[in-house]
């Protein structure tokens, strides 16, 4: 029976039935040592090199003895994994020879990075007339890439080169696949690819540009404009950067699509001129809101940012005669109020005519109270709508599925 090791994204060791990965406080260092050996598998490694990489800051007086003890325990753990499988000894074996340690990986082990490398290499070697086969190989490879290499260890210096290597390989293959699909005018597939990639690489400019181009080609000018505004906010808020010349060129192309279709929103342009670059939230369609939500949720896991989702609900029973005109008035007023009340980097979307969702970026508990008070105050000042019963619920982005379910 084979053992399958996953390293691109969350680390896991599985057989054909279940996960064999059982982390705990007692096994944390053992799994970290195993991940180190897997990264440098089939290579000879000096004990001092392992100590320098894994035991920096350790207060032990005898690190070599500690390492020997950990390797002894790791061997026992690997042996226990193999006991329920055939081909014993053909899985993972740590050997010591001529003063060096080495992890031998047997034929009964399938490592995701080996498969990833192999599929991309096969795709690269295909001739132009074998394009469909190359597309299939690249798609299989990209499906394996679930995130950065050993993503749960973000601060390990020894991981940086190998992590960068697989990230570059992923993006290179993604770009090649997109170019092939663009030649076949498969823009819907390109959009799906880019949206999946941005969950993993939210700051990768080329992916954003490919997404914008594909949106324009299938006539999604409004979504393209919304996405450009999101990129602009992301760069400004997260990295204090302006869009690159390539992105600005895409913005001009998006504008030209609006002009050609007679859809240029003069009011929106005037608002941008009055407000400047540091204020005003982004309003978007619900499907696009979910896409941005998934990006931000994944990113907040890595950065420990305090992001929230708010559900704003207007009770229809509080509206005289369930008047649809009054409901529409509330929706229009809320759009204007939220655009002025929220910060650049916040996003909101209407789920229906009496419910909307807001995504608030990096905000404290005190800030939530300020936001709620400001929205209600501004709605009253703007529309004198004090008779309306409006409820606002906040939920951390990691558990915001509760609110999304309430709105559905």
- The predicted pLDDT at position 73 comes to 95
- The model carries a pTM of 0.76
CA distance between the termini of the chain: 44
- In whole angstroms, give the CA distance from residue 251 to residue 294: 24
* CA atoms within 13 A of residue 118's CA, in its CB half-sphere: 6
CA dihedral 160, 163, 165, 170 (to 10 degrees): -150
> Is the separation of the CB atoms in 277 and 288 below 8 Å?
no
Counting as low any pLDDT under 50, the low residues of the chain are: 262-278, 387
Give the CATH number of domain 185-264; options: 1.25.40.10, 3.30.70.270, 3.40.50.150, 3.40.50.2300: 1.25.40.10
> Is the separation of the CB atoms in 205 and 244 below 8 Å?
yes
CA distances from 357 to 277, 285, 292, 315 (A): 23, 11, 12, 15
- The predicted pLDDT at position 361 comes to 87
- The predicted pLDDT at position 268 comes to 43
Tens digit of each residue's pLDDT (9 = 90 or more) over 207-217: 999 999 999 99
Residues 6 or more apart in contact with residue 105 via CB below 8 angstroms: 38, 41, 42, 92, 111
- In whole angstroms, give the CA distance from residue 102 to residue 110: 18
> Is the separation of the CB atoms in 163 and 150 below 8 Å?
yes
CATH superfamily for 286-406 is: Reverse transcriptase/Diguanylate cyclase domain (3.30.70.270)
H-helix or E-strand spanning residue 161: helix 160-183
Give the CATH number of domain 1-180; options: 2.60.40.10, 3.90.1150.10, 3.40.190.10, 1.10.10.10: 1.10.10.10
- The predicted pLDDT at position 177 comes to 98
Domain boundaries, the chain: 1-180, 185-264, 286-406
- With H, G, I as helix, E, B as strand and everything else as coil, classify residue 89: coil
DSSP 271-336: HHHHH-TTB-PEE--HHHHHHHHHHHHHHHHHH----EEEEEEE-GGGSGGG-HHHHHHHHHHHHH
């Amino acid at each position: 029976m084979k053992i399958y090791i996953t390293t691109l994204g969350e680390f896991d060791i599985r057989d054909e039935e279940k996960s064999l990965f059982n982390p705990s406080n007692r096994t944390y260092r053992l799994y970290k040592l195993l991940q180190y050996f897997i990264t440098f598998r089939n290579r000879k490694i000096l004990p001092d090199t392992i100590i320098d990489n894994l035991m920096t800051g350790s207060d032990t007086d005898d690190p070599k003895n500690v390492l020997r003890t950990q390797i002894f325990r790791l061997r026992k753990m690997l042996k226990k994994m193999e006991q329920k499988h055939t081909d014993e000894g053909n899985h993972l074996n740590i050997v010591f020879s001529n003063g060096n340690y080495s992890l031998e990986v047997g034929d009964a082990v399938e490592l995701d990075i080996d498969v990833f490398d192999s599929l991309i290499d096969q795709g690269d070697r295909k001739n132009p007339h074998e394009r469909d086969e190359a597309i299939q190989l690249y798609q299989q490879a990209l499906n394996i890439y679930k995130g950065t290499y050993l993503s749960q260890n973000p601060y390990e210096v020894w991981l940086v080169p190998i992590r960068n290597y697989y990230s570059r390989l992923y993006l290179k293959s993604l770009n090649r696949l997109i170019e092939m699909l663009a030649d076949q005018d498969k823009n819907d597939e390109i959009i799906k690819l880019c949206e999946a990639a941005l969950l993993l690489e939210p700051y990768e400019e080329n992916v954003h540009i490919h997404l914008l181009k594909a949106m324009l080609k299938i006539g999604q000018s409004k979504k393209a404009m919304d996405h450009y505004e999101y990129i602009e906010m992301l760069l400004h808020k997260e990295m204090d950067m302006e869009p690159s010349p390539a992105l600005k060129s895409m913005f001009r192309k998006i504008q030209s699509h609006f002009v050609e279709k007679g859809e240029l929103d003069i009011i929106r342009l005037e608002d941008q001129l009055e407000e400047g670059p540091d204020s005003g939230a982004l309003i978007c369609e619900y499907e696009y809101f979910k896409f941005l939500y998934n990006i931000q949720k994944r990113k907040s896991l890595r950065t420990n940012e305090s992001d929230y989702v708010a559900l704003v609900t207007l009770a229809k029973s509080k509206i005289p005669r369930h008047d649809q005109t009054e409901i529409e008035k509330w929706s229009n007023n809320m759009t204007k109020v939220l655009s002025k009340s929220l910060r650049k980097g916040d996003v909101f979307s209407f789920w229906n005519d009496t419910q909307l969702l807001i995504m608030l970026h990096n905000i404290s508990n005190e800030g939530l109270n300020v936001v709620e008070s400001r929205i209600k105050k501004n709605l009253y000042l703007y529309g004198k709508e004090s008779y309306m019963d409006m409820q606002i619920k906040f939920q951390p982005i990691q558990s915001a599925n509760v609110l999304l379910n309430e709105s559905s």
